[in-house]
């Protein structure tokens, strides 16, 4: 499936992809994979590649991280098109669209505590959907989820399914603490920026069904998805800012770029020692083949230290 789709996509003139990091820390090898994979796929299809800073969650933000991320992208020769968009500057846009949903009576307030939801098995069971009594502040806002998308076709992972309980959950659009939920803003932004192709890590595989639920609710044709294998640590944890994955060292840019290309299974016959970053990227763009990418997570160490 992946192959035939790639073949037809070559003819699509308006490919628009993006990289959407959260500024909760510097880029590490795992985020380099997502940045590079989305960049190569976009450029291979003569597409645009945008960068969006997902600074929607101030408590998790590390000061200076946005600037550092952009600088690292430039070091790796990953130059973006158009202006960078910052989610922190788009609250009115998000609120406007949330209000439209609320005004159609397709979302409702919920004051359930995390504890109540955990006691019900971890998924929210619709407790406040038909609540007649007053919901007390602070409350979250949940989508009345009548679509319940439970599967999708991924360009690399093939058919991805989630449980129907997960698929049908009235998930959160705005949190109790007043912050917009990632699921809502990512979809509103991807639609607004006319993104056609989302290439990112497998950590977002399951929640993709929620994002598709929102696409369908908003009557927008779905985008295509490609979920890249995660880079993991020796004990199987995904490399992340939370588990202190190392920031990408600028002096190792070329080695790291090669490691990331190998991680993505991409072949290059170049004597790469002799080539610049730009030349390496150019060759990787020309030779990009998604059927060479593993579906499984892989040890970051295996690539970084060899
Ligand atoms: N901001 C999200 C993250 O850094 C990624 C969003 C996306 O690619 O859809 O995990
Ligand atoms: Zn509730």
Give the strand pairing for 151-154 and 158-161. Answer: antiparallel
| Superfamily for the 2-104+187-304 domain | HUPs (3.40.50.620)
Q: Can you tell me the distance from the alpha carbon of 101 to that of 107, in angstroms, rounded to the nearest whole number?
A: 6
| CA nearest to 73, candidates 23, 147, 135 | 23
Q: For position 13, what pLDDT does the model report? A: 59
Q: Residues 214-269: pLDDT tens digits?
A: 999 999 987 999 999 999 988 888 887 666 678 888 888 999 999 999 999 997 66
The answer to whether residues 209 and 152 touch, using CB atoms and an 8 Å cutoff, is yes
Q: For position 4, what pLDDT does the model report? A: 39
Residue to probe by mutation, ligand 1, list 23, 182, 215, most atoms within 8 Å of CB: 182
Q: Looking at per-residue confidence, does 7 or 46 come out higher?
A: 46
* Ligand 1 center from residue 17 Cα (angstroms): 13
| Mean pLDDT score of the chain | 91
Q: Residues 110-147: pLDDT tens digits?
A: 999 989 899 888 899 899 998 767 788 899 999 999 99
Q: Can you tell me the distance from the alpha carbon of 12 to that of 9, in angstroms, rounded to the nearest whole number?
A: 5
If phi over 0 gives left and psi between -120 and 50 gives alpha, with beta otherwise, what is residue 235? alpha
Q: Looking at per-residue confidence, does 273 or 165 come out higher?
A: 165
User: For the sheet containing 85-86, what is the strand order?
Assistant: 85-86, 48-53, 16-19, 197-201, 224-228
Over range 187-195, report the average pLDDT.
Answer: 97
Can you read off the two tokens belonging to residue 158? 């093939």
Please indicate whether residue 300, judged by its CB atom, sits closer than 6 Å to ligand 1.
Answer: no
Please indicate whether residue 186, judged by its CB atom, sits closer than 6 Å to ligand 1.
Answer: yes
Q: Can you tell me the distance from the alpha carbon of 213 to that of 152, in angstroms, rounded to the nearest whole number?
A: 11
The answer to whether residues 27 and 229 touch, using CB atoms and an 8 Å cutoff, is no
Q: For position 71, what pLDDT does the model report? A: 97
Among the bound ligands, the one closest to the CA of 115: 2
User: For the sheet containing 172-174, what is the strand order?
Assistant: 107-110, 140-143, 172-174
Please, what is the angle between helix 277-287 and helix 29-44, to 10°?
A: 60
If phi over 0 gives left and psi between -120 and 50 gives alpha, with beta otherwise, what is residue 268? beta
Please indicate whether residue 21, judged by its CB atom, sits closer than 6 Å to ligand 1.
Answer: yes
Closest atom of ligand 1 to CA, residue 54: 1
Q: Which residues pair with 225 in a beta bridge?
A: 198
The answer to whether residues 203 and 270 touch, using CB atoms and an 8 Å cutoff, is no
Q: For position 249, what pLDDT does the model report? A: 84
* Ligand 2 center from residue 26 Cα (angstroms): 36
Q: For position 247, what pLDDT does the model report? A: 86
Closest atom of ligand 1 to CA, residue 203: 10
Spell out the domain ranges in the chain.
2-104+187-304
Please indicate whether residue 22, judged by its CB atom, sits closer than 6 Å to ligand 1.
Answer: yes
Q: For position 235, what pLDDT does the model report? A: 83
Over range 85-105, report the average pLDDT.
Answer: 97
Q: For position 8, what pLDDT does the model report? A: 46
Q: Can you tell me the distance from the alpha carbon of 15 to that of 42, in angstroms, rounded to the nearest whole number?
A: 7
Q: Report percent pLDDT > 90 for the chain.
A: 75
Q: Which range has the worst mean pLDDT, 151-165, 208-222, 267-281?
A: 267-281
Q: For position 152, what pLDDT does the model report? A: 97
Residue nearest to atom 7 of ligand 1 (CA): 20
pTM of the model: 0.93
The answer to whether residues 214 and 190 touch, using CB atoms and an 8 Å cutoff, is no
Q: For position 213, what pLDDT does the model report? A: 97
Please indicate whether residue 200, judged by its CB atom, sits closer than 6 Å to ligand 1.
Answer: yes
Over range 270-283, report the average pLDDT.
Answer: 85
Q: Looking at per-residue confidence, does 273 or 260 come out higher?
A: 260
């Amino acid at each position: 499936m992946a192959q035939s789709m790639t073949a037809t996509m070559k003819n699509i003139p308006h490919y628009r992809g993006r990289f959407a990091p959260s500024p909760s820390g510097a880029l590490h090898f795992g985020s380099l994979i997502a940045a590079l994979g989305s960049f190569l796929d976009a450029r291979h299809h003569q597409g645009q590649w945008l960068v969006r800073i997902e600074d929607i969650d101030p408590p998790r933000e590390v000061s200076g991280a946005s600037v550092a991320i952009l600088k690292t992208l430039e070091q790796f020769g990953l130059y973006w098109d158009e202006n960078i968009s910052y989610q922190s500057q788009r609250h009115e846009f998000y609120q406007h669209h949330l209000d439209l949903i609320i005004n159609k009576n397709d979302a409702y307030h919920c004051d359930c505590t995390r504890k109540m939801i955990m006691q019900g098995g971890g998924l929210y069971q619709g407790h406040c959907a038909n609540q007649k009594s007053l919901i007390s502040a602070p409350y979250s806002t949940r989508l009345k989820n009548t679509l319940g998308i439970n599967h999708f076709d991924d360009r690399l992972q093939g058919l991805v399914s989630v449980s129907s309980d997960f698929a049908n959950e009235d998930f959160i659009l705005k949190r109790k603490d007043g912050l917009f939920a990632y699921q809502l803003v990512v979809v509103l932004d991807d639609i607004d920026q006319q993104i056609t192709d989302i290439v990112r890590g497998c950590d977002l595989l399951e929640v993709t069904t929620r994002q598709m639920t929102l696409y369908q609710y908003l009557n927008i044709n779905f985008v295509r998805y490609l979920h890249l294998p995660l880079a993991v640590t020796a004990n199987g944890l995904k490399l992340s800012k939370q588990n202190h994955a190392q920031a990408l060292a600028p002096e190792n840019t070329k080695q790291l770029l090669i490691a990331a290309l190998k991680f993505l299974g991409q072949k290059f016959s170049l004597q790469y020692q002799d080539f610049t970053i730009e030349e390496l990227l150019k060759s990787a763009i020309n030779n990009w083949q998604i059927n060479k990418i593993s579906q499984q997570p892989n040890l970051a160490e295996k690539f970084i230290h060899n």
